[in-house]
Structure 1
Amino acid sequence: MDMPENLREALVTLTEEVSSSRLVEEARRISFRYRDRGDPQQFIQSRSEALAYAVARMPATYGAVSSALAYTLTALEGWGEEMASLLDVGAGTGAATWAADGLVALQKVVCVERETMMRQIGTTIMAFGSEALQNAMWIECDIASQPIPSRGDLVIASYVLNELNVQSQAEVSEKLWDCAEKLLLIVEPGTPEGYRTIERVRTILLQRGAHIVAPCPHENPCPMLEQDWCHFSCRIPRSQLHRLSKGGEAPYEDEKYAYVALARERGPLNEGGRILRHPQIAKGIVRIQLCTEEGITWKTFSKRDGEAYKRVRKAKCGDWVE
């Protein structure tokens, strides 16, 4: 899942103002501060740190949101309405907005972000984008303590709720739902903690009348066992600067994410299920683990299943199988 050329060009252009060594140092400092979970008001302290954050995190955030939104739009096909406006909450430097712009014909974009430097870098980066991105409105707001001052057909909150405590997660998730005219997409890290956050939000918003679009094929309690967690993965190409900022040598990274997409309207129930793990391929057969309306089950395909067997051999974790 590669970023568009104009976004990569924007990052290269902006990072020319800071040495590679400083960007690497700043990226490591941000990572340490994030893991330490110190004062959240001190997350980003300078323009160079905002640039380092953009280099280190935009590719993975872009990839995860693109993947989750693509699955969501596929599930909406045939009954979902067009979405002309986007509200990106906790936008950072705008990765989720770029992802949405690549999949939805946006006419209006509003990005909500607390950190001043992140808003400044995000605005500069979007000058390289489409007309909708160039005209995006950036709003300062602390979503944990203030009302969210806008609405959108599509609302996205990516890697936001994991920075809040459980009570604030519940409060903010309801604020997000109140802002969504048609669809709300929440993306979190594909960790046990990220999944538990998604599960709590899912429960809260179903009680508010939301309807699940993806990834779940039902609105029943999540059947995943407590020692396991629901998550998906997308492969992200790494630029040289990205590799340096992450301290790795591999030309790619696999970003694990969890997500839920909720709509105002209930769509048709589709037969089949979501693949939860990478298919197990052996000679002449493929076994897949599926989340279905009846719960989690295993299904086996053989060459005798013809086209279905061929499709499943090419499928991956997160795909829908009928």
Structure 2
Amino acid sequence: MSRTPAYAAELRTALTRAVRGVSERDLARTTEALVSRYRSVAPASAPILASRVHVAAYAAYRMAATHAALSRILGELADRDLAPRSLLDLGGGTGAAAWAAAGAFDSLETITVLDQVEEALGLGRELVRDAASEVLAGATFARAVAGDWPQLEADLVTVSYVLSELDEAAQELLIADAMQRGRAVVVAEPGTPDGYARVLRVRSAMVAAGWTLLGPCPHASECPLVGRDWCHFAARVNRSAEHRRLKGAELSYEDEKFSWVAAARPSLVESPAGQPNSGRILRHPLKRKGFVEFQVCRPDGTAGREVVSKKAGERYRSARDAEWGDTLP
């Protein structure tokens, strides 16, 4: 069973503790610069986490959202019986994927986070220091440069919110590194058209290598949304008081939009199975009296409208509970 809600609360507490001592003015100014950077579609010309203030601002502004997205992704894979014993997070910075994986997988025994920015790794170590989970508290945060990763292997390799910082050639090298080192690989990017385009390129590389898609796609054919829409999902993020102050927000929550793809080496795909045997819900369902209407991506490689009526009995009851991003009941 996923322990994600408890881990999310523990992470919020750790983040609040970590930003103490950094002036709110510096945090606010640096957060504004980070917001502009994340809205840009151009690769960064230099590491965006260049100082302790940059790292603290990033963690307060972005880490909870990244954690929420990864928790939803990894939680689904756990529900489908993926049970990695080791996690390798490439470019993982302050460790959002480590926290999400620890919350999703009871099977985890080791976590390794690699990044080129020592300040980010230092904050990552600080955040997990008092974690209730032994595997999280014992996570390794090590400095390494993309293209020169140490020769490590893991059951699961994650690459999250990293590709936008690289040009296309460097992106391809990073994904090749991830696939060389992992039995299963998860890639997550912002849920924007350009984030979706990067995920599509990763998906193509995985399919071309003979890997089996684990999600979100219910098929390995060309994405039916190309040219008319983009595939993305959302995860609810509960904002801390610090988070609300930094963003100038009033609501106690926000929805993090993300795109993702996960695949496994063919030898791994015994359990869980490959693509889900049902469609993927692409938008918020329309719930009407007597029926639920969905926009779905189907196992046959098409996308379109599906309706589940009250006459479907148990399937209809399941459909009433289904949400954007779930598999179609």
User: What's the TM-score bracket when you normalise by the shorter of the two chains?
Assistant: over 0.9
Equivalent pair of 1:235/1:255 in contact (CA under 8 Å): yes
Q: Distance in 1 between matches of 2:237 and 2:289?
A: 30
**Which of residues 2, 9, 23 in structure 2 aligns to 1:5?**
9
- Structure-1-length-normalised TM-score: 0.92
1:156 Cα deviation (Å)? 0.8
- CA RMSD after TM alignment: 1.9
**Which of residues 62, 66, 69 in structure 2 aligns to 1:57?**
62
Aligned residue identity for 1:237 = N
Structure 1: runs of 5+ lacking an equivalent: none
1:183-198 alignment to 2 at 5 Å? Answer: 183-198=184-199
Residue number in structure 2 paired with 1:141 = 144
Equivalent pair of 1:190/1:258 in contact (CA under 8 Å): yes
1:92–1:150 CA distance, 2 compared to 1 (3 A): same
After superposition, what is the alpha-carbon deviation per residue over 1:169-201, rounded to whole angstroms, capped at 9, x for unaligned? 122111111110x21111110001111111111
Matched, 1:157 2:159: yes
1:1-322 alignment to 2 at 5 Å? Answer: 3-35=7-39, 40-74=45-79, 76-77=80-81, 80=82, 82-105=83-106, 106-129=108-131, 130-143=133-146, 145-180=147-182, 182-265=183-266, 266=269, 267=273, 270-294=276-300, 295-322=302-329
1:7–1:270 CA distance, 2 compared to 1 (3 A): closer
- Indicate the SS of the match to 1:226: coil
Q: Runs (4+) of structure 1 moved beyond 4 Å?
A: 33-39
- Indicate the SS of the match to 1:146: coil
After superposition, what is the alpha-carbon deviation per residue over 1:201-235, rounded to whole angstroms, capped at 9, x for unaligned? 11112111211011111111111131200010011
1:107–1:298 CA distance, 2 compared to 1 (3 A): same
Equivalent pair of 2:214/2:274 in contact (CA under 8 Å): no
Structure 2: runs of 5+ lacking an equivalent: none
Aligned residue identity for 1:198 = V
Equivalent pair of 2:212/2:274 in contact (CA under 8 Å): no
1:34–1:307 CA distance, 2 compared to 1 (3 A): closer
Q: Percent identity?
A: 35
* Aligned residue-pair number: 316
- Structure-2-length-normalised TM-score: 0.90
1:313–1:137 CA distance, 2 compared to 1 (3 A): same
Aligned residue identity for 1:187 = A
Report which stretch shifted further, 159-168 or 85-94: 159-168
Q: Distance in 1 between matches of 2:156 and 2:205?
A: 19
1:42 Cα deviation (Å)? 4.2
